[in-house]
Structure 1
Amino acid sequence: MTKRKALSLVVGIGVLIIIILIIYGVTNTLNHTKRADHLVKGVDLSAYQGEIDWELLAAQNIDFAFIKATEGDDFVDSKFKTNWEESQKTQLKVGAYHFLNYDTTGKVQARNFIENVPASNKNLPPVIDLELYGIYEDNALPKEQVKVILDELIKELEDHYEVKPILYTTQRIFKMYIGTDYKDYPIWIVDLDNSWPETLPNGEKFTFWQYSHRGMMDGYDGDETFIDMNLYNGTYAEFIKEFF
């Protein structure tokens, strides 16, 4: 091979590499640009997911994350403080949730959450996780009794954070405890049949949908292999307008 041909080959290969790098860069930029109408996906997690690599997690086509903060009147998730601080360094929209306990008042539960979760208009509203657990799975409390606890918790959180809390609930519990009483509050509905629920049982529009408890992503190393997956009921532009 002559020096001229060798030089031409080297130049040609160099140009090809530059073209490939340009295409990769443009494609990568497009893939990480938030289109106004793209599907708005997120996760929720707790100490069960162990140590979180938040930069890696955020790079996997998700937009938001809800982090467990507190439960009842004194429990604080062991990973909350670290998860909260590290998540704030990413482009994710982040919120915290409280697991409601039926054995204590809404006021003291609100105090537990408020003492641990900073108030900021840069984050998603607080979430109240309303589930049946333990003895209450088979012996659910009457609606009137739950409403006293829930109403007090809602009021305290709303007064402090100056935003309406999001209510997380299953279809069953929605029918038992929510119904038509909380129409002004965003509802995060759990429905794992993997078909988009058009409306809530009361005919209203839901805000978030938890569609899977068995998502798998990179970026965590806890005993729990899976991570909960969620979608916002709207476009990214609507998501930003509603909460920010």
Structure 2
Amino acid sequence: MRPIGRFLAVLTLLAMAGCGGGNGRVAGIPQRFSDIDPYDWRGITPAHHPVHGVDVSRYQGAVDWHRVRGSGVSFAFIKATEGGDYADPLFFQHWAGAAQAGIPRGAYHFYYLCRSAVEQAQWFIANVPAERGTLPPVLDVEWNNTSRTCRSRPDPEVIRSEIETFQRIVGARFGQRPVIYTAVDFWRDNELWKLRGEEFWLRSVAGHPSIKYPGQDWSFWQYTGTGVVPGISGEADLNAFAGSEAAWSAWLARRSL
């Protein structure tokens, strides 16, 4: 969920977006989108999944949510908070814009490994409205090797315990336990498969989750951070839902606030 600095690539993306977005020439992803740095997908690809969405933060800038909806995006996860004292300055703009466009949306929290789960859960609750019909919250847990203030790597048992604390507090407030977003290295290093009863959103930009997270159930898959989506002027994170369109409707009915 962090920005990728590719100046020339972004110029190419902007030109493509200005011409209408996805061009259908990237194998393995839905034709309505494109990718400026595509992976050579083999086997089960993102295109095998019919329901797709985006996640955004301030790094995407202003978003034309009606164009995003028109491109076939079915959901959006929007960054709200980070740690215990940072709120994304574009959260409410994105939150309102997605709602006005009729896109189901949820809020996510980026976990800071140098503050307690209790403090972070309280910060998220203080900054995110509990609105009926929205998607469940998301807890984004990953290594942040570029952080200038926190290079901590707690023991796996500590990390899993803190995750469970955040899940319990935020789940009680919103009436829905958060989805957990993570990346391959963090999932492996901290043995997150030991977390029972949790729902996962998995990042894997070079292979299907069934390969990168063997045996792990998941509901969402982030398959690129360099996507092109009409209405988003910068690099876009693209995500697939695990099931069919009917399964997506059932998931919404079960997991919406």
SS of the residue corresponding to residue 231 of structure 1 reads strand
SS of the residue corresponding to residue 146 of structure 1 reads helix
Q: Give the whole-Å Cα distance in 2 for the aligned partners of 1:199 and 1:238.
A: 22
Please state if 1:62 is matched with 2:73. yes
Aligned to 2:208: 196
SS of the residue corresponding to residue 67 of structure 2 reads helix
Aligned to 1:102: 113
SS of the residue corresponding to residue 198 of structure 1 reads helix
**Cα–Cα, structure 1 residues 59 and 175, in superposed 2: closer, same or farther, change >3 Å?**
same
Q: 2:246 aligns with which of 233, 237, 241?
A: 237
Structure 2: runs of 5+ lacking an equivalent: 1-31, 33-47
User: Per-residue deviation at 1:67?
Assistant: 0.5
SS of the residue corresponding to residue 112 of structure 2 reads coil
Q: Give the whole-Å Cα distance in 2 for the aligned partners of 1:81 and 1:53.
A: 14
Aligned residues: 205
Aligned to 1:177: 190
Alignment of 1:96-175 (within 5 A): 96-134=107-145, 140-175=153-188
Please state if 1:220 is matched with 2:232. yes
Answer yes or no: is the 8 Å Cα contact 1:199–1:206 preserved in 2: no
**Cα–Cα, structure 1 residues 213 and 147, in superposed 2: closer, same or farther, change >3 Å?**
same
- 1:218-238, Cα deviation, whole Å (9 max, x unpaired): 2234xxx20100000001221
Answer yes or no: is the 8 Å Cα contact 2:160–2:192 preserved in 1: no
Bigger relative contact order (CA 8 A; separation at least 6) = 2
Task: Report which of the two has the higher share of helix.
Answer: 1
- Find runs of 4+ consecutive structure 1 residues off by over 4 angstroms: 135-139
Q: 122-131 or 170-179: which moved more?
A: 170-179
Percent identity (aligned): 29
Structure 1: runs of 5+ lacking an equivalent: 1-30, 32-36
Answer yes or no: is the 8 Å Cα contact 2:50–2:240 preserved in 1: yes
Q: 1:85 aligns with which of 87, 93, 96?
A: 96
Letter of the 1:122 counterpart: G
Which is higher, the Rg of structure 1 or of structure 2?
Answer: 1
What TM-score results when the alignment is normalised by the length of structure 2?
A: 0.73
Aligned to 1:75: 86
Answer yes or no: is the 8 Å Cα contact 1:58–1:90 preserved in 2: yes
SS of the residue corresponding to residue 57 of structure 1 reads helix
User: Per-residue deviation at 1:176?
Assistant: 2.2
SS of the residue corresponding to residue 113 of structure 1 reads helix
**Cα–Cα, structure 1 residues 93 and 178, in superposed 2: closer, same or farther, change >3 Å?**
farther
**Cα–Cα, structure 1 residues 105 and 229, in superposed 2: closer, same or farther, change >3 Å?**
same
Q: 139-148 or 68-77: which moved more?
A: 139-148
Q: Give the whole-Å Cα distance in 1 for the aligned partners of 2:117 and 2:151.
A: 22
- 1:78-110, Cα deviation, whole Å (9 max, x unpaired): 100111112111221111110001111111111
Q: Give the whole-Å Cα distance in 2 for the aligned partners of 1:243 and 1:106.
A: 27
- 1:144-196, Cα deviation, whole Å (9 max, x unpaired): 22123212111111110111210001122112224332231111111111x43
